[in-house]
């Protein structure tokens, strides 16, 4: 797993991460930005957690 310096670095350097990020709902993007995900797997984990929270309420 490649870890980048920050979310911007990840999105600039990894096309798959950029495309995945762009496909997400705005509220999940904001959470990923706040958490400053540094890898694709970290970004996926944050998105998964946020989606699960949405199903609980």
Distance (Å, whole) CA 4 – CA 40: 10
> For 6, phi and psi rounded to 5 degrees?
-160, 175
On the question of pLDDT at 42 being above 80, the answer is yes
Sequence-distant (6+) residues with CB within 8 A of 23 are: none
pTM for this model (two decimals): 0.88
Per residue in 5-37, pLDDT (tens digit) is 999 999 999 999 999 999 999 999 999 999 999
Maximum separation of any 2 CA atoms in the chain, in Å: 36
């Amino acid at each position: 797993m490649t870890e980048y310096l920050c979310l911007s670095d990840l999105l600039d350097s990894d096309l798959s991460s950029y495309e995945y990020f762009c496909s997400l709902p705005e509220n999940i993007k904001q959470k990923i930005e706040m958490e400053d995900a540094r890898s694709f797997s970290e970004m996926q984990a944050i998105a998964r957690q946020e989606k699960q929270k949405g199903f609980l309420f």
